[in-house]
Structure formats: structure tokens, C-alpha cells
Structure 1
Amino acid sequence: MTEPGSTTEPGAAEGNYAGDFAHVGVQATTVHGDVNYYSSPVDASPKVKFATGVRLLEGGMPGKARQLIHEAVVDGHTGNKVCFHWQLALLSGRTWHEMPHEDIMRLRQAPTICRVTAGDSWADGVEIVHRLLNSVQQGNTDPGPLLKDFDELYDPQRAMILRHLELFLDGPLKNQMWHRALQDARRDQMDGDRADRVWKFFHPEPANPRQQEPRPPNIPVGTWVRAVVATVVLAVVLLHIGYLLVRGLQVYALAVYLLSIAGGCLAARGGLEWRFRTERCRAKDQEYAAPRTRTAQPPPGGFANKVDQSFRRYFGRYVPRQTDRATWLAETAGIRKSLRDEIVEVYREQRIGVERISWLIRYRVSEVRKQWENGTLFAYRYELATPLSTKILTLIGLAITVFGGSQVMESAMRLAPLSAARSTALALAAGVITALAWQHIILEYRRYAADKAEATRTQEGCQAAYERWKQKLADKPTDLEMAAWLDRDRKVLLNEALRHYGLSMSDIIAHAFIETPGPRTKRARVQNGPWRYSRYRLFLFLLTSDGIRQLSSELDFERGTLHGWNRVNYRYEAVAAVRVHQPNDDECRFELTLVNGEQIKFNVLTPGQEELQMNEAHGAVSEVTLDAAGFHHTLHVMEGIAAEGKQWIKQERRRQSKQNVA
């Protein structure tokens, strides 16, 4: 293996080897089920099939595009635009000799079948493609007039030809067209605000914030019965005591009696406020307190476990300024558990991925950090502290009730001892029962109202955060943009390889790419589309007259930069075997064995990628991912080398000549 910046002589020993069969760590997985570019109903009209085929072609999946566009043409959908896209689909991603005879015939007959008529830019594009075909087949023709007409062609036809005919072109035309393709790729590599938008593709459509409904007031029927009955009994007894005082003309005692009742009402009101604040503060303390015992861990891979991991990650990341991480995590352990339990409870039955509520978890954690930094995280202790005035009024009311009640009972006992004693006993019993019953009822309703108000405030904050996040993701790149950017990155890599080896495009007999997920990558796809990655490992095979040049580099897709170059050179005779190991639909491993026993192998698909959505066929996602990665063309080339060695070059040219004649 040669290091970046070094050189390797042609025909170097076949022992040079780059090992890239490493584990790929995936940080996040997203499937945009709300976006579907790449499928059409079984009974779709020819127009719909054609439109879907065009999107597949633009998305870098020519295999399925060929099928759908052909079906649309067979069903009668024709015209200049149809013919142009059909031509590109037939040629894209493969060389002339890779095309089966029936596709060659379709390519030649496309203008006639589609009834092409001159007069628009699509017809001009059809004509240019036809002339390019003739130039490749005839060779040794002056490309000047053709290139002049090509340069006068408008976009998108010009750009599409440069993109899809890269492998097909040959001869003196190849260098000229490559120069134009590279120029466009460099110019447009970071267009569309790529650096600020790519990351958004790997975030799913956020789920709506859901409000946790507070626990309804828990008031048993028996409590209501006790409250009503005891209140009625108390009212009757108090009236009876008042009647005794009126009948005995005890004016002073009657005034004291009314004052003691007012004091009792004052004490009850203040006492309820005091009790409510105390209990609510205690409940908040318990909610936010760190768990004293280790709680059972949810099953690995489940929804609750993923929510746990997400909360741990964001609490570990969002440490307040000037705060020790260990202190922050210890002090917020209870809050973290409370928030986690709330999210799990609200979303557990919604069958959504944690990725869709990551925005909500981030927001809730950021709010905790903000409150910590503002010193308001435990502000409820001050807000719920009972005012001194309430305590004083409660104690005064209680004192008035006790003092006045004793004075009144003494006067009543002098007037009617037996009746007063009976009423006093009933009043005390009914008063206790009434106080306890109504206390429970009122506190439950107040607790529910406070929970409701708190939940509403939280929901309003979450809704505002949700709207902000949706707005931030509003310009998420489409899959077609992702495919176009990746195609430009490929061209930049190819140019770096040509520059390093001092080669021109016409020196390259054939070239092939394979794209694999890079380390610590994020991945996402649209429904029925291929996986896209935030980091790629790009492999490039260059077939020259002296041997095979293999290059690999890690692509930071967001920034469009290449890092970590590895180069391997070996002769055609050094290739002993090419294998593809695909034990299931979502795993594919490419292995190239050299005659000295060394192996070059890497994963094209990693296990666990086949995450199907509704209306997705098993294996379909893997197939389009392999198609978009250029796997089929690369496999064709490398299997040919393994089978025929350097003779493959002559055999391919012989096969191409036969097809040209046919």
C-alpha cells in the first residue's frame, strides 16, 4: 500500500493490499416515509411510470429506470422528452459492451419508436446522443463539429448527457467530454447551499409534540358521600347551637359564635392553601430526586431503551457553562428520569422511531440547562413556599375558632346541658369528617388544575420548538440533489486519481466505482430509495494498459471533502478471484483475492439496513442501493478481469466490435 503523495510504478507487485473490511458504526438511521420519489402503483399510467423512471435515473438508479421507461414507451407514451430519457437510461451506468443486444436495438430504434420531431431542446438532445453513439462506433472522426453543437445545447440536456454517458464514451471524444464534465462538477460541487443543508437529509420528519394528560382527580364516591352528609350534619348542628343562644338571648355569646365560625372559615381556607403548597412542593422534590435504587433497565433495542440512550447522550452533551459534568449529571438524575418516563409514556404506543422525537428530547434537555444557568431549575421551591401572611391568618383563624368555640359551648351548656353536649359532640365529629373529605376533594381539583396548567405551558413551549425545527428542516435536500452531489464527488475523486498517476481519460480502458458506508456515519433514505450516507468510503478501480489502479478515500459528504487516501496497484494476472457474499437481502460483501492469497474486501451493504416501510418489497431497497453504488458495473468489470486477465481488454473490444456490426 502506498501512502498519499507517494508513487507506485506500473506493474508493481501484486502483494500491495489495502484492507478496508472494517466495522461501520452507524450513528443514526432515518427513513423518510413521507417522501416517495421512486415507486408507482401497479396499475400506473404510462405517464406516471415515465415520471418515476426519470426520477430513478436522476437518483442514480438506471437499472430500474430502464425498466419503467421501457414499459411507458411500450404502453404508448412517446415524444421527444421520452426518447431522450430512454436513451440516457439505456446508456447510463454501463459501457457499450455491457449492453445486451435487445437494449442496443432499442437504443438505435428509440427516435423512430418515440416519433421524435425536431423543434425543441429535447429533440436537440436526442440528436446529440445519436451523434455521440455514431462517433464512438466509428472512431477516428473529427469531434470538433459535434462538440461545438454539444456546447450550444441548453441545460438540463447538456448536464444530463455529461453525467450519464461518462462510461460509454471512448476515443478522442472522451477527453473533451471529460474536461467539460469535470469543469461542471467542480463548479457545482457545493452549490445549492450544500454544506448547510446536507445534515438535514439525515433528520426525519419530526413527530408532533404530544401532551401528557394529567392524572384526573381521584375522588371516590365514598368521599363525596362523606363530604355531603357530614356537611349537612354540621350545618344542622351549628344552626341548633345558634338557636339555643338566640332562645337564651345570649347576644354576646351569639356574636362570639359568629366570629368563631368566620375564624374557622379563615383557618380552613388558609390551611388548604398551606397544605396544597406543601404537598405540591414535596411531590416536585420526589419527582426530581435522584432514584435511590437502581431501576430495571428496559430491553435493549426497544423504544424505551433508545429514549434512555437519547436522554443520556443529550444530558451529557448539554452541560451548562461553568458546571462540572459529574455535578450536572448527578443533580439532574431525577429530572432526567422524570422526562424520560414522560416521553416513553406519551409515545410508546405511537409506533414511531426515536429519531422523530430527538428534536423534542433535545428541546426538553436544553430547557433544563437553561433553567440551571438561570438559577430557576428549582425555583418551584420558592414559588410554592407558603407566604408568611397565609400562615399567620391560618393560625389566627384557628385560634379564634378554638377560643370562641369554647366560650360559646360554655354558654350553651348553661342553657341546655344535654342538648348542647350532644350538639357539640356531633359538631366535632362532623367537622373533622367534613374537613378531611373536602380537603381531599379540593386538593385533588387544585392539583389537577395545576398539572393541567403546567402541561399546557410545556406543550406551548414544545409546539413552538416543533415549529422552529420544522422551519429549519424546510429546505432539506431532495434525494435527487443528494445523488447529483455524490456524482460530482465521484468525478473529483476520479480526477485526483488521473492527476496522481499522470493519466488522461483516454488512457483509461475502463473505470468503476463502489460506494460503501464510511465509519461513524449517519444514513437516511426516502421510501423505495437507496441509502445515502453522511460519510462514504469510495473505491475506484482504474483499468490501464499496465494494470489495475485501485484507490479508496473517505468522503465527508456534508463538506464534499476527501480524506485518507489508500492506493493499491496490481497486474491483471494478479487477480485470482472475485466473490460477492450476500447471505441475506440487507448484506453484501465484495471480495477480491490476489494470486498470493491476499484479499481486498469490504462491505457494500451492512446488516440491518433493510428497514422496510409500507409498500416496500423485501430486497428492493438493497437492490436500488447496490444500483446507485455502481456495484453491478464494477462487478462486471472485475469478474471479467478475474476470468480472462489482461485478455479481457481484447475480448471486450472484440465483443464491442461485434455489437457495432450488429
Structure 2
Amino acid sequence: MTGPETTTTNYAEDNSQVGMQAGVVHGDVTIYSTPPGASPMERFEIGVRLLDGGQSSRAREVIREAVEAGLTGNRVCFHWQLALLSGRAWNEMPDADAAALRQAPSFCRLSGGDVWADGAKTVLRLIDAAARPNTDLRPLLKDFDNLAEPQRGMILRHLELFLEGPLKNEIWDRALTEARKEQLADSRRDRVWKYFHPNPVGPRFLPVRPPLVPAGTQARAICGAVVLGGAAFNLGYLLLRDLQLLTLLVYALGIGGGFWALHAGTEWHYLTERLRAKDREFRRPRELPSRAKPSGFAGKVDQRFDHYFARYVPRNASRQTWLDGTVGIRRRLRDEMVEVYREQRTSVEQIAWLIRYRVSEVRRQWENGTLWDYRRELAVPLSTKAATLLGLAALASGTIWAVADATRTAPTNAAVSALLALGATVVAARARMRIVAEARRHAADVAEQRRIEEGCRAAFERWKRKLADKPTDPEMAVWLDRDRKVLLSDALRHYGLTMSNVIAHAFIEAPGSSTKRARVRKGPWRYTHYRLLLFVLTKDGVRQVTADLDFERGTFHDRARTNYRYEAVAAVRVNQTDNGDHSFELALVNGELVKAKMLAAAIDELQVDETLATVSETTLDAAGLGHTLHVMEGIAAEGKRWLEQERRRRADRQDRATAWTAAPPQAPTRPPRT
């Protein structure tokens, strides 16, 4: 055991920082919210979930309200007992709660022999045995081992701090065996990460730009067609009047060639313009003068695209080739995402799946060689070019022949018609090609977007199915409780202690470095990485253990141990700022500080019916801060005398327990209140 002059290992220095990503709040999960006008049964069910989630104080309040409202039954009695006992030792229990525990079976009308009644009776027998050190434990432990689940597991979890003596060792051994066996149960390593992922939002897309044809273009197309038709008809009339039938036939063939050239030329024009437009989308954007990177939502979208494009490198390309070749695509996708989601109060985490999918699609097309297929698909076929040129040649030949013959009999009329036909042809053809190209552009955009939407919606459904087995908050609480037991067991083994040698133990749960965090509505914060601080109190002094917990994998890292006498503790402080931050400080007489930042609140992560105070209270309740402060503040105030005081308090509560188990009072009309 070290003395006060020994330097201890600090958890955190004065200016240390804990890196943390923005928190995720599952606002659509309401397992802890009490609706207005809730019935006693509804309140009780919420209290059960609070108890399962480790929020003992709130569970006691809510279940008390249900019991006071007249709710009775074996299941109610069992959970009411556990709520009164959970998270605290006997000397931490107010007299009113001790009386409520004593009166619970009669007040809740415990009867019958179902599994809930068996559980409630077992709780009473365990408390009785803890108060009577000379009790033969073998029959009790046999009945306890035969108790059904989940009653047996719930007792192991919630009575950890309450039992004493040999019974404490027996129950601890069973609790530890279950914790080690079930620490990674229910596919923990495959599911925990999903708790920290927000509910994804569905894919959204910019609307397809409708066909934009100015009124002037439409007017030119119509007027040009009318003028062209009139001029062509007039030339045909002149030829027919003079019975120039051969010329008329050639003229008709020329007109047919003109229509053929118009059709093929329109296709040529559309393919050329479409190729240019796609190249503008895909090519590297022009370098702009250096400017500050965007912040806020747009900046986070940039980071995600950069991350996934750097991560999803095709197998058949180097990273630099891939990044250089997709600069334009990356910019186009990023701009589209920012434009669609910027005003929707959407977090980047909610659309990370979509960014990842779009990038993976680009990689897939790169790998199978289809990313640049549009260049092949939009290349103008040789047949189209030939059809356009041959049609124009036929039109020119037929028109020149017809005009030449018509001018012999009506030179002025034929010349005017020819000039009008030539001008109208140019005007009408250009307008017609623009109209058709715009209509086909719109149809192609609609078809392309429909294909992209189908892929995105299918990916969205796959992602939702993948997140469907997201852990509940009570599951997270159970896993964390098992981790704590494993760490405590490792500490006891290292120091050669049994649970009966431990006067008390307490935890401080702080977020680890570079951690993510998430919570359900009105629930406590859960973290991907914890920094656990364990205090084990023995007759010789305090054993302090710190360890980093990788919660997803259930593994501990960077452990540190230190020992000090009770007299070495100078003060215990919990600092709470106005913005909801909480930190724990243990000051030793040599000036050393053991510090932990337990909670960092954020006003922008609150739901409409939450406050920073309620979120902080919930998180600290689930972490068992009340019990920890009771123990550590007692040491700071009394030093080693805390041991004698604790022994006297323990003897006193055993005497009281023996008295009420020997002659339990009659049921009151109301459960006593704290």
C-alpha cells in the first residue's frame, strides 16, 4: 500500500480533452417517455424499462407512482422490490424505502406460485439471509439456481451492492459466471455499432429539369415550316403547270431526301450536344482561386465524399489515378447532395449510407469499364452521318434542278420561292433540332434518374434491414453491467481479494477518447469507448483501477492501478457547469488529482421535452454516480474512521433487517414515500 507521499497515476490532466463526435439522439424511440394521462400499467411498464436500462432512481419514482395508483400483482411486486434495492447498499436506503420494501409483498398482494412470485419470494429470502450471517445457504442457493429466467438474471444484476457476508461471495460468483459467459451474447460485436448510427433518411433527388424551349424557338419552327411549305408548294405548282413531270419527280425525291437529312441531322445534333453535356459533368472542374473550405453541413458532406472516394479505390487502378479521374464526378455528386439535403435539417450521418452507395456505384462502374460508356453510346454512328449528308445532297440536287427549270417560265417567282425556301429551311431546321434535342434530353434524364432512384431505394431498404436489429437501450445497459463485473473481477484477482473482503466498490464512467455517443429519447448517453474508474475499498485502503473499454468488442485496454490509504484522500468534488457538463475530481493530500469528465452536454442534441439538467441526471443515474459519491465522499470526510462507521451501520441495518423479517408488519394503505 502506498502512502500519501506517493505519486499516483492521474486519469486526466487539467487541460486534457476528450475527442468526441457529435451525438446521435434516437428521437423516435420513446421507451422511457411517459405519455400524458398514462395509466398505472403504462407507467409500470416504463418503470420496468428504466430499471432494465440501469436508471434505478427514475425507475423507483415511476414504479412507485404505479403502485400508489393501485397497481398490484406478482410481477409488480418483483420489480418494485428490485427498484428499491438496485444500485445502492442497505445503508444508502432511506427508512421510507426500507419500509416500502418490507411492505411490498402485502401491499402488492403477492400470491400464487408463478415465476414472478418465485422471484419476489427469493428476493425476500436473500435479504433475510444477508441479515442472518449464520443462515444455512445451501437450500436457498439451490432454489435460487433453479429460478427461471429472466428473474434469476435480474436478481444477480440488481442485488450486487446489497448483499453481505458469505452470501455475497456466492451470488457474486454466479453473477460473474453469467457476465463472462454472456458478455458478448446476442451478437454484440455485430450489433453495437448500429446503436450509434442515426436512423437513415431516404434518398432525395433534384427534380429533372423540364424541357426548356423558348417561345421564340417554337415560333421560328412554326413560321419556318409554314414559309418553307408555301415556297415548296409554289415551286411544285410552277413545275406542274408547265408539265415538267420528270423535274417534278426529281424535286419530290429531293424533298424526301431533305426530310431524311432532317431526321438524321436531328439525331446527330442530339448525340453531339448530349455528349458535350455529359463531358461537362464528368470532367475536372476548372481550378478556381484558393478559398476557405466550406463549413457546416456542406463541409461535412465534403469530408464524407473525400473519405469514401479515398477508401473505395477500384482494384484495377491506383489511388491517385482513381482520385484524378473522378474529380468531376465527385464534385457533381457532392453538389447534388448538398443542394437536396441542406434545408431538410438532416445530419451527414443520416445520409452517409447514400454517399457510400453512390461512391461504391462509381467504383463498380470503373471496375467493369462502364463508367465512360456514355462516350460510346453517344458517339454519332457513321450511318447517321452518311444519311444526313446523302439527304442534304439529294435535297440540294432536286431543289437546284427544280429551280432551274422553273425560272425558264417564271424567273422572279421561282427565285423568290427558292430564297424563301432556303432561309425557312435553315430557320425551321435549327429550331426543330433544338426542340427535339431538348425533349430527348429530358426523356434521357428521366430514364437515368429513374434508374439511379431504383438503385438508391433498393440500397436504402437494404440498409434499413441491416439496422433493423439495432440494440435497445436496456441491452446496452446489460452489456455495460457485464463489462463492469469483468473489470471488477480482474481487479479482485490481481489483489487476491474476494467479494466478502470488499467493504464497498464504486465506478466512475467517463467517455473515452475519440468516442461516438448516442442515446434514446430521455435516456442516458452510451459511448463506443469508455474510460472506467474503479474504486475498491478494503480494510487496508483504496485500490484504484482505470481501464479503457472498447464497448463494441467488450475488451479492456491501457489499464492502470494505484493504491493509497484512506488518509491520503483530501477531497472529492463533482463540478457541474451551467451547460450541463459534469466532472469528477478526487484530490489527494499530496496535491495529485484524479479527474474524469463524466458528461459533456450539447444543447443542439436535446429533444423538445428535454433539458440539459434532465439529460445529465439520467446519464449520471444510469452510471451509478449516487452510490459512488456516497462511498467516496464518506472516505474524504471520515478517512479510515469510515471503516468503523461502516461496520456500525452494517450491524445496525442487520439488526433492523432481522427485526422486520421476524415480524413483518401488516400492509399499509399506501406505500411509504421517501
Q: TM-score, normalised by structure 1?
A: 0.95
* Rounded Cα–Cα distance in structure 1 between residues aligned with 2:575 and 2:350: 34
Secondary structure in 2 matching 1:204:
coil
| 2:297 counterpart of 1:303 | yes
Deviation of 1:287 after TM superposition, in Å, equals 1.0
| 2:7 counterpart of 1:15 | yes
Secondary structure in 2 matching 1:650:
helix
Secondary structure in 2 matching 1:390:
helix
Q: Which residue of structure 2 aligns with residue 414 of structure 1? A: 408
| 2:38 counterpart of 1:44 | yes
| 2:457 counterpart of 1:476 | no
Q: Which residue of structure 1 aligns with residue 513 of structure 2? A: 519
Aligned equivalent of 2:63, options 50, 64, 69: 69
| 2:498 counterpart of 1:504 | yes
Closer, same or farther: CA 415–636 of 1 in aligned 2, 3 Å = farther
* Equivalent AA in structure 2 for residue 155 of structure 1: E
Secondary structure in 2 matching 1:160:
helix
CA offsets per residue over residues 391-442 of structure 1, 9 Å max, x none? 1111111122222222222122222112122222222222222122222211
* Rounded Cα–Cα distance in structure 2 between residues aligned with 1:189 and 1:479: 16
Deviation of 1:89 after TM superposition, in Å, equals 0.8
Q: Which residue of structure 2 aligns with residue 6 of structure 1? A: none
Worse-superposed segment, 115-124 or 74-83? 115-124
Aligned equivalent of 1:125, options 119, 123, 131: 119
CA offsets per residue over residues 542-591 of structure 1, 9 Å max, x none? 01111111111111222211111111211111111112122134421111
* Rounded Cα–Cα distance in structure 2 between residues aligned with 1:91 and 1:609: 33
Contact 2:212–2:438 (CA under 8 A) maintained in structure 1: yes
Q: Which residue of structure 1 aligns with residue 54 of structure 2? A: 60
* Equivalent AA in structure 2 for residue 59 of structure 1: G
Q: Which residue of structure 2 aligns with residue 351 of structure 1? A: 345
Q: Which residue of structure 2 aligns with residue 83 of structure 1? A: 77
* Equivalent AA in structure 2 for residue 495 of structure 1: S
* Equivalent AA in structure 1 for residue 560 of structure 2: N
Contact 2:601–2:616 (CA under 8 A) maintained in structure 1: no
Deviation of 1:462 after TM superposition, in Å, equals 0.9
Closer, same or farther: CA 661–299 of 1 in aligned 2, 3 Å = farther
| 2:143 counterpart of 1:149 | yes
CA offsets per residue over residues 68-94 of structure 1, 9 Å max, x none? 000111111111111110111111111
* Equivalent AA in structure 1 for residue 12 of structure 2: D
Deviation of 1:610 after TM superposition, in Å, equals 6.3
* Rounded Cα–Cα distance in structure 1 between residues aligned with 2:654 and 2:107: 20
* Rounded Cα–Cα distance in structure 1 between residues aligned with 2:442 and 2:44: 58
Aligned equivalent of 1:596, options 590, 594, 612: 590
Closer, same or farther: CA 459–246 of 1 in aligned 2, 3 Å = same
Secondary structure in 2 matching 1:542:
strand
Contact 2:316–2:367 (CA under 8 A) maintained in structure 1: no
Deviation of 1:622 after TM superposition, in Å, equals 2.4
Q: Which residue of structure 1 aligns with residue 558 of structure 2? A: 564
Deviation of 1:523 after TM superposition, in Å, equals 2.1
Aligned equivalent of 1:202, options 186, 196, 213: 196
Sequence identity (%): 59
Q: 1:623-638 maps to which residues of 2 (within 5 A)?
A: 623-638=617-632
* Rounded Cα–Cα distance in structure 1 between residues aligned with 2:333 and 2:411: 61
Worse-superposed segment, 517-526 or 651-660? 651-660
* Rounded Cα–Cα distance in structure 2 between residues aligned with 1:80 and 1:276: 78
CA offsets per residue over residues 227-285 of structure 1, 9 Å max, x none? 22222222122111211111111112211211221111111111111111111111111
* Rounded Cα–Cα distance in structure 2 between residues aligned with 1:577 and 1:14: 17
In structure 1, stretches of 5+ residues that fail to align are: 1-8
Aligned equivalent of 1:384, options 378, 381, 385: 378
Closer, same or farther: CA 438–322 of 1 in aligned 2, 3 Å = closer
Closer, same or farther: CA 13–181 of 1 in aligned 2, 3 Å = farther
CA offsets per residue over residues 275-309 of structure 1, 9 Å max, x none? 11111111111111222134865652x22222111
Closer, same or farther: CA 367–159 of 1 in aligned 2, 3 Å = same
Secondary structure in 1 matching 2:577:
strand
CA offsets per residue over residues 501-525 of structure 1, 9 Å max, x none? 0000011111011222222222222
Contact 1:14–1:569 (CA under 8 A) maintained in structure 2: no
Contact 1:12–1:569 (CA under 8 A) maintained in structure 2: no
Secondary structure in 1 matching 2:546:
strand
Deviation of 1:655 after TM superposition, in Å, equals 3.9
Q: Which residue of structure 1 aligns with residue 672 of structure 2? A: none
Q: 1:329-348 maps to which residues of 2 (within 5 A)?
A: 329-348=323-342
Worse-superposed segment, 263-272 or 610-619? 610-619
Equivalenced residue count is 653
CA offsets per residue over residues 450-506 of structure 1, 9 Å max, x none? 111110111111112112222222222222211111111111111000000000001
* Rounded Cα–Cα distance in structure 1 between residues aligned with 2:505 and 2:151: 24
* Rounded Cα–Cα distance in structure 2 between residues aligned with 1:599 and 1:50: 42
Contact 1:13–1:569 (CA under 8 A) maintained in structure 2: no
* Rounded Cα–Cα distance in structure 1 between residues aligned with 2:3 and 2:127: 33
Deviation of 1:381 after TM superposition, in Å, equals 1.0
Contact 1:101–1:659 (CA under 8 A) maintained in structure 2: no
* Rounded Cα–Cα distance in structure 2 between residues aligned with 1:291 and 1:482: 47
Worse-superposed segment, 221-230 or 640-649? 221-230
**Runs of at least 4 residues of structure 1 off by over 6 A?**
none
Deviation of 1:620 after TM superposition, in Å, equals 2.3
Deviation of 1:137 after TM superposition, in Å, equals 3.0
Deviation of 1:173 after TM superposition, in Å, equals 0.9
Q: Which residue of structure 2 aligns with residue 139 of structure 1? A: 133
Q: Which residue of structure 2 aligns with residue 243 of structure 1? A: 237
Deviation of 1:14 after TM superposition, in Å, equals 4.1
CA offsets per residue over residues 335-354 of structure 1, 9 Å max, x none? 11101111122222322221
* Equivalent AA in structure 2 for residue 458 of structure 1: I
Aligned equivalent of 1:178, options 172, 178, 183: 172
* Rounded Cα–Cα distance in structure 2 between residues aligned with 1:537 and 1:206: 29
